[in-house]
């Protein structure tokens, strides 16, 4: 049986789990053969070099895990080779071990470390000592590299957290600003509409009273006055009133979008198949009237905010119904898939489709594409994208004009 010390030594010098590559440089062929025999038997891959020049060339073109270097080479000093390797960014992190009989005293050892060596072993030595020294250097470097990677990962995560916090703060400021602006803009609009109403009443009073004056005016003046009172002023007031109403709707849309970004979400486990079927009931009249064929697949359950999902899916279904091509029977299909990380929902239709040049504008604010024969403000898909993003998801559209569109949104299985 092996003694305790021998067992420990055997375990410590056992072949590595992965094959390490060692570059051995010595001008003595017998020494190189010895390295190959000893190291290969322990599971290492050995590359040999007989000169300092060959050592430098090999180290630069082949990644090795450690270098064994003799101090006294025929073409140059091993100390110079070591210094060059440690100054080269491509090789400076490779562990280097001097193997020599020249550094048996303290002064020699100091010289080796000053040249940049990571360790040394003095001839003569046992195979076990050589293996222990080599493994120690390689594993030390691996630990250092792992620590460096972990440090980089921590730094990246910290920066990502800071960036996320900055974005969150900026988003909250933007939402507050949008809320305030939409509120403040509504006040003058209310005043404008109020004054337009008063002007209309005043104009009505003038028109009812002007009848007695018109007979006393010449024909040209009378005609011009009638044109202004009956045409130009009412038209201008109507234009102001319509524009104010339009602006009020746009401000209200921004207000709703801002509120969506501020509203607290309440995640719950949703039966998406059931949710879609309920939404389709609200569109039943339009579906029946247009003879639309609707297909609903078995959708995966999802942990998400119910109100948000109703708005997302409801908007996509409503658009699918409204933008069908009347020249062919309509079809709408709702399908879904899931994996351990995400849930994917698709709403496909065979409607009008969207021009390729317009698809990049699809989710922009106040964007209405194609024929403007359907009422709306161009905000629906902006609402959808905001709600999908609030759940940590993403949404896109694949569409071909004259063929149809497929809207796809993907959410984490546990949205928050």
pLDDT tens-digit series, residues 62-94: 999 999 999 888 888 889 999 999 999 999 899
C-alpha pair distances (Å), 149 with each of 146, 155, 303? 5, 10, 35
Q: How far apart are CA 184 and CA 130, in angstroms?
A: 80
pLDDT attached to residue 108: 66
Pairing of strands 302-305, 267-270: antiparallel
Q: Exposure of 226 by Cβ count < 10 A (0-12 exposed, 13-18 middle, 19+ buried)? A: middle
Tell me which of 141-145, 160-164, 254-258, 323-327 is least confident: 254-258
- Tokens representing 84? 């060059």
pLDDT tens-digit series, residues 11-41: 555 545 558 999 999 999 999 999 999 999 8
pLDDT tens-digit series, residues 185-206: 677 777 887 888 888 888 888 8
Arch. (CATH architecture) of 267-412: 2-Layer Sandwich (3.30)
Q: How far apart are CA 177 and CA 162, in angstroms?
A: 22
pLDDT attached to residue 106: 67
Tell me: pLDDT of 129 over 70.
Answer: yes
Closest residue by Cα to residue 73 from 24, 109, 144, 117: 24
H helix intervals, 211-283: 219-227, 233-262, 272-282
Give the pLDDT band (50/70/90) at residue 324: confident
pLDDT attached to residue 198: 84
- Which residue(s) pair with 45 in the sheet? 21
What's the half-sphere exposure (Cβ side, CA atoms, 13 Å) at 37? Answer: 7
Q: How far apart are CA 27 and CA 53, in angstroms?
A: 11
Q: Whole-prediction pTM value?
A: 0.48
pLDDT tens-digit series, residues 216-244: 777 787 778 778 878 888 888 888 887 77
Tell me which of 56-70, 94-108, 401-415 is least confident: 94-108
Domain 4-125: CATH class, spelled out: alpha beta
Task: Give the residue extent of every domain in the chain.
Answer: 4-125, 166-262, 267-412
């Amino acid at each position: 049986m092996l003694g305790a010390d021998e067992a420990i030594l055997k375990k410590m010098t056992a072949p590595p789990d992965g094959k390490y590559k060692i570059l051995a440089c010595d001008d003595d062929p017998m020494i190189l053969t010895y390295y190959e025999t000893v190291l290969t038997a322990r599971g290492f891959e050995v590359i040999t070099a007989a000169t300092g020049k060959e050592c430098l060339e090999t180290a630069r073109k082949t990644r090795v895990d450690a270098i064994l270097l003799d101090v006294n080479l025929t073409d140059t000093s091993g100390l110079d080779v070591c210094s060059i390797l440690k100054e080269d960014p491509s090789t400076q992190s490779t562990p280097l071990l001097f193997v020599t009989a020249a550094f048996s005293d303290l002064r020699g050892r100091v010289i080796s470390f000053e040249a940049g060596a990571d360790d040394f072993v003095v001839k003569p030595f046992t195979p076990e000592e050589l293996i222990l020294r080599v493994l120690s250097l390689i594993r030390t470097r691996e630990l250092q590299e792992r620590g460096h990677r972990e440090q980089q990962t921590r730094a990246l995560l910290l920066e990502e957290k800071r960036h996320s916090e900055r974005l969150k703060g900026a988003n909250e400021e933007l939402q507050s600003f949008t809320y305030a602006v939409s509120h403040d803009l509504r006040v003058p609009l209310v005043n404008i509409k109020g004054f337009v109403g008063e002007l209309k009443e005043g104009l009505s009073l003038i028109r009812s009273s002007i009848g007695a004056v018109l007979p006393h005016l010449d024909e040209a003046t009378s005609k011009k006055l009638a044109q202004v009172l009956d045409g130009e002023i009412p038209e201008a007031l109507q234009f102001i009133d319509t524009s104010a109403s339009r602006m009020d709707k746009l401000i209200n849309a921004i207000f709703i979008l801002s509120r969506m970004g501020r509203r607290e979400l309440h995640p719950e486990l949703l039966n998406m198949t059931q949710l879609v079927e309920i939404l389709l009931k609200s569109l039943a009249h339009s579906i029946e009237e247009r003879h639309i064929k609707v297909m609903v697949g078995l959708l995966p359950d999802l942990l998400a905010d119910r109100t948000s999902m109703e708005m997302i899916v409801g908007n996509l279904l409503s658009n699918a119904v409204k933008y069908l091509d009347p020249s062919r029977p309509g079809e709408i299909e709702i399908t879904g898939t899931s994996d351990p990380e995400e849930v994917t929902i698709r709403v496909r239709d065979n409607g009008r489709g969207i021009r390729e040049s317009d698809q990049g504008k699809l989710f922009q604010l106040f964007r209405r594409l194609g024929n403007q024969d359907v009422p709306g403000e161009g905000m629906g898909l902006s609402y959808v994208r905001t709600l999908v993003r609030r759940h940590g998801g993403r949404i896109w559209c694949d569409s071909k004009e004259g063929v149809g569109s497929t809207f796809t949104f993907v959410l984490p299985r546990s949205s928050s």
